[in-house]
Amino acid sequence: MSESLVQEVLDANCALAAHGLAPLTWGNASGIDRERGLVAIKPSGVAYDELTVDDIVVLDLDGNVISGGGRPSTDTPTHLVLYRAFEEIGAVVHTHSTYSVAWAQAQREIPLLGTTHADLCAYPIPLTRALTEEEIATDYEGATGTALVETIAERGPSELPCALVRGHAPFCWAASPAAAVDVAVTLEQVAQMALLSTLLEPRAEPLQAAVRDKHHARKHGPRAYYGQP
Amino acid sequence: MSESLVQEVLDANCALAAHGLAPLTWGNASGIDRERGLVAIKPSGVAYDELTVDDIVVLDLDGNVISGGGRPSTDTPTHLVLYRAFEEIGAVVHTHSTYSVAWAQAQREIPLLGTTHADLCAYPIPLTRALTEEEIATDYEGATGTALVETIAERGPSELPCALVRGHAPFCWAASPAAAVDVAVTLEQVAQMALLSTLLEPRAEPLQAAVRDKHHARKHGPRAYYGQP
Amino acid sequence: MSESLVQEVLDANCALAAHGLAPLTWGNASGIDRERGLVAIKPSGVAYDELTVDDIVVLDLDGNVISGGGRPSTDTPTHLVLYRAFEEIGAVVHTHSTYSVAWAQAQREIPLLGTTHADLCAYPIPLTRALTEEEIATDYEGATGTALVETIAERGPSELPCALVRGHAPFCWAASPAAAVDVAVTLEQVAQMALLSTLLEPRAEPLQAAVRDKHHARKHGPRAYYGQP
Amino acid sequence: MSESLVQEVLDANCALAAHGLAPLTWGNASGIDRERGLVAIKPSGVAYDELTVDDIVVLDLDGNVISGGGRPSTDTPTHLVLYRAFEEIGAVVHTHSTYSVAWAQAQREIPLLGTTHADLCAYPIPLTRALTEEEIATDYEGATGTALVETIAERGPSELPCALVRGHAPFCWAASPAAAVDVAVTLEQVAQMALLSTLLEPRAEPLQAAVRDKHHARKHGPRAYYGQP
């Protein structure tokens, strides 16, 4: 696997901590080398400030460890289900960031109330269905991935770059580890803004549809004009 | 265009990030050289810690780029409309700061509840009207500027140093880039304090009018006695 | 006036900024030399990171400037009224800290809900009465001091180390500038905790009286046993 | 007593401050050497950045000071009651962290709303009973310990690693000082997330029992598979 991707995965994990999105060791980032079919991911329970490239675990898409001394993140099966389901996904990030978790625990999707949200995604941030007791007993982390895939299947991962796992926390994805961290940072801001707006005005209207579509199109798709060409 | 103004615009953009008002690349500051009719503004989508004076884009008031390699901020037409409408404006700042956005998304003006607000402005912080679908389709950013101009036209930009764009975020203005950043910092504090007071006491009374006027006059206008002479 | 007191006042002003209690220039600390009848206070509108001992303004208790080049804080008359009314006060601190202001704007005293509050003070944090229009027109800052004195007169400044000025912000006092900063830090924590508890449980019961008195007596008065002897 | 345990206790006290859990001097950590029956604890009222190993007070389980120049934390009797009641406890941490205190002041246990909570503990975070006036008058700190012991006695300290003292603040315990700090950090996050979820959705459902048990078993007990073997 390319050294640069392993380094990007290491950097993305450390960025989660630096952005305050992952207290203690509660977050993990991975990236995939589609050519070789290999995924690099954080080892389980290791502190971000002690992580080195040698700690990053490399696995194939069936979860067989190829290199890296430690046990991979317990959430690895969730990441793998997402990679297997969607070719467009190049990186996955999971955090327990405060405001995103607040919505997940309230078991509510995040309504689309403003342009900050529309810049990220043109839809409410969805919530996965509850898992069955059998799913939880037999393959909890894999079933979490399956529920995420079901939740975003209709729109696809480019249209829905993140979702909340019911009662748990967010998962985010993008083309690269750094871009997936940006999704996680943005989602947490969007979650905080939406929570504050909702406390202030419980019946807040969704953002006007034409503004929503305009903002989204400024940043995404063929007619985007945000950023440098 | 004077080098010092370009430097001030660069410094103001970096100050937005340092004050935590602009996560990722979500904020922009500009300044105008009224003598030459030239505006300096942040390039679109560039990280604050990578910005140099050479990146700052200089345009005329019709939006023609005079210097600077990159594409200007997507919000440039909003800034230009404000500069064209009001001679008193020397700088414009746009952020997605959390609490100000919370009010914009709740589609509520910020009520004047205390002296911190009165030190900034003697009126509630207003909210722009909704744009029409045609405005959004044909000239979204320009129409945003037009709505801001309509919102503050009666009082003028000295009496109303900032406003909330409905469903979006704040714009602030002042005589200089550094002063516009101070407006943005103050607005975010005022927005947070007003939100907390409103959650605590949904029917909170506005600040007593005589105290409001006294505080405002201490800091602004011919009888101001705040700060050094 | 003793150089060490001027230095303590300088340090206290900088500590307000370091503790995040005074955004921009919105806070001031003063100290009194009772032997000489001189008060040292922050100059108006000067940034904390630019303050030097030479900037600190020294005045007598009638407000006549004795030394220091600049204009004293606009809130100086409030400080002087407090010093003249209560011999026990050795220092005064004023901030616009967020949660304390939220209560002042909601025009509510801070209820005594827990031991953190009882460690500071055995009573709710009181709110001053509204000023009359004449008071505001003729001597606003002095009348603010008078209202504070009325509010705490019955208990005295040792029993009530701080109060909220209605619609405005807190004032705190203690024997020394450093101790007054500690009151301001504690008050802001108490204000935040009380606000969060009140949002969670609007009818939260006050702290049990025996626990309140026990906690207060652990830290204050002849039978205190907190800290080193 | 082993030097390394004294160092661990010093480090744990400093970590409370570094994590923002103990403003001013409002928190204390202790550790026990079970072989020698000696407890090391923070001295009362000393600033964290001035603490040295020589300041750490060592006592026996009856509270007799063995070494260390100063007065031990006023909360020492609470720690000692916990150590005497439960052999499994190797360290105790007390803080006044903001969101945990908010629940203690609201006199409500923290409901189990999500997986972040289940990773810490499989039950709501309990609240102690009110103390009697006699308990408060005769042995306040000891009675606080007794109330904590009663609260967790049925489940035991391994199943309930922390509790809220009614109207006061949290106490946390674990096998080592560093692990007790991790409990305190996690509890504060859990308290904040639960408070935000409850404001958003006052009737939020508890986390699905099967997910709760799965998450808890991933991290704790014989079938744990989180972290490195």
CB contact residues (below 8 A), chain A span 32-91, against chain B:
none
Nearest-CA distance from A184 to chain B in Å?
11
pLDDT of D1 over the 90 cut? no
pLDDT of B102 over the 80 cut? yes
Q: Are D104 and D167 in contact (CB under 8 A)?
A: yes
- D214 CB neighbours in chain A (<8 A) are 136-137, 140
Q: What is the 3-state secondary structure (H, E, C) of D106-126?
A: HCCCECCCCHHHHHHCCCCEC
pLDDT digits (tens, 9 = 90+) for B132-181: 999 999 999 999 999 999 999 999 999 999 999 999 999 999 999 999 99
B229 pLDDT band, cuts 50/70/90, is confident
- B197 CB neighbours in chain C (<8 A) are 101-103, 105-106
Residues β-bridged to residue A41: A30, A57
A141-146: average pLDDT: 98
* Unique residue bearing structure tokens 């001992």: C53
pLDDT of D92 over the 90 cut? yes
Angle among Cα D210, D211, D215 to the nearest 5 degrees reads 120
From A168, A174, A163, A182, select the one nearest A125 (Cα to Cα).
A163
Instruction: Measure the CA dihedral A154/A157/A162/A163, to 10°.
Output: 30
> Catalytic pick from C119, C123, C139, C140?
C119
pLDDT of C223 over the 90 cut? no
Choose from B101, B129, B134 for mutation: most chain A CBs within 10 A.
B101
pLDDT of A69 over the 80 cut? no
Angle among Cα A95, A100, A104 to the nearest 5 degrees reads 100
pLDDT of A221 over the 90 cut? no
Q: Between B74, B101, B106, which is nearest A201 by CB? A: B106
pLDDT at residue D137, as a whole number:
95
From A200, C101, C110, select the one nearest B115 (Cα to Cα).
C101
Q: Is C197 in Cβ contact with D198 (below 8 Å)?
A: no
Chains within contact range of chain C (3+ C-beta pairs < 8 Å): B, D
C186-213: buried (b, 16+ CB within 10 Å) or exposed (e) per residue?
bbbbbbbbbbbbbbbbeebeebbebbbe
Residues A13, B19, B175, A115, CA torsion sign: positive
D153-172: average pLDDT: 98
pLDDT at residue A20, as a whole number:
95
DSSP letter assigned to residue A147: H
Among chain C residues, the shortest Cα distance to B189 is held by C98
Q: Are B168 and A114 in contact (CB under 8 A)?
A: yes
C195 pLDDT band, cuts 50/70/90, is very high
Q: Are B175 and B31 in contact (CB under 8 A)?
A: no
| 3-state SS, residue A176 | coil
CB neighbour list of residue B33: distance below 8 Å, 6 or more residues apart:
B1, B2, B5, B39, B40
Query: What are C88's two structure tokens?
Result: 């026990």
Could you please report the per-residue DSSP string of chain B? --HHHHHHHHHHHHHHHHTT-SSTT-EEEEEEETTTTEEEEPBTT--GGG--GGG-EEEETT--EEE-SS-B-TTHHHHHHHHHH-TT--EEEEE--HHHHHHHHHT--B---SHHHHHH-SSPBPBPPPPPHHHHHHHHHHHHHHHHHHHHTTT-TTT--EEEPTTS-EEEEESSHHHHHHHHHHHHHHHHHHHHHHHH-TTPPPPPHHHHHHHHHHHSSTT--SS--
Identify the weakest region by mean pLDDT among A215-229, C123-137, D86-100. A215-229
pLDDT at residue D222, as a whole number:
86
pLDDT at residue B222, as a whole number:
86
- D207 CB neighbours in chain A (<8 A) are 105, 167
Q: Is C189 in Cβ contact with D96 (below 8 Å)?
A: yes
Distance (Å, whole) CA A136 – CA C226? 51
Q: How many CA atoms lie less than 13 Å away from A219 in the CB half-sphere?
A: 19
Distance (Å, whole) CA D174 – CA D181? 9
Chains within contact range of chain A (3+ C-beta pairs < 8 Å): B, D
Q: Are A30 and A79 in contact (CB under 8 A)?
A: yes
pLDDT digits (tens, 9 = 90+) for C141-163: 999 999 999 999 999 999 999 99
pLDDT of D69 over the 80 cut? no
Q: Are D33 and D8 in contact (CB under 8 A)?
A: no
Identify the weakest region by mean pLDDT among B72-86, D170-184, D210-224. D210-224
B21 pLDDT band, cuts 50/70/90, is very high
Q: What is the 3-state secondary structure (H, E, C) of chain D?
A: CCHHHHHHHHHHHHHHHHCCCCCCCCEEEEEEECCCCEEEECECCCCHHHCCHHHCEEEECCCCEEECCCCECCCHHHHHHHHHHCCCCCEEEEECCHHHHHHHHHCCCECCCCHHHHHHCCCCECECCCCCHHHHHHHHHHHHHHHHHHHHCCCCCCCCCEEECCCCCEEEEECCHHHHHHHHHHHHHHHHHHHHHHHHCCCCCCCCHHHHHHHHHHHCCCCCCCCCC
pLDDT of C68 over the 90 cut? no
Choose from D97, D100, D101, D135 for mutation: most chain C CBs within 10 A.
D101
The catalytic residue positions of D are 119, 226
pLDDT at residue A161, as a whole number:
98
- A136 CB neighbours in chain D (<8 A) are 208, 210-211, 214
Distance (Å, whole) CA D29 – CA D92? 6
C226: annotated active-site residue: yes
Query: What are B204's two structure tokens?
Result: 């909170």
The catalytic residue positions of A are 119, 226
Pairing of β B27-33 and β B38-41: antiparallel
D159-172: average pLDDT: 98
Distance (Å, whole) CA C100 – CA C34? 29
Is the pTM value of this prediction over 0.80? Answer: yes
- D168 CB neighbours in chain C (<8 A) are 114-115, 211
Q: Is C167 in Cβ contact with B208 (below 8 Å)?
A: yes
- D197 CB neighbours in chain A (<8 A) are 101-103, 105-106
Among chain D residues, the shortest Cα distance to C118 is held by D168
pLDDT of B125 over the 80 cut? yes
From D18, D46, D15, D50, select the one nearest D29 (Cα to Cα).
D15
pLDDT at residue B68, as a whole number:
86
Query: What are D26's two structure tokens?
Result: 């409002």
Angle among Cα C211, C216, C221 to the nearest 5 degrees reads 140
The chain-wide mean pLDDT, for chain C, equals 96
Q: Is D204 in Cβ contact with A107 (below 8 Å)?
A: yes
Which ipTM was obtained for this model?
0.96
pLDDT at residue C1, as a whole number:
78
C168 pLDDT band, cuts 50/70/90, is very high
Q: Is C105 in Cβ contact with B193 (below 8 Å)?
A: yes
Q: Tell me the C-alpha to C-alpha distance, in Å, between residue C2 and each of B109, C44, C68.
A: 50, 22, 14
Q: Is A186 in Cβ contact with B24 (below 8 Å)?
A: yes
B228 pLDDT band, cuts 50/70/90, is confident
What percent of chain D is predicted at pLDDT more than 90? Answer: 91
Q: Are C192 and C113 in contact (CB under 8 A)?
A: no
pLDDT digits (tens, 9 = 90+) for B204-223: 999 999 999 999 999 998 88
- Could you tell me how many CB contacts below 8 A there are between chain B and chain C? 91
Based on its alpha-carbon atoms, the radius of gyration of chain B, rounded to whole angstroms, reads 17
Higher pLDDT, D6 or A223: D6
C48-57: average pLDDT: 94
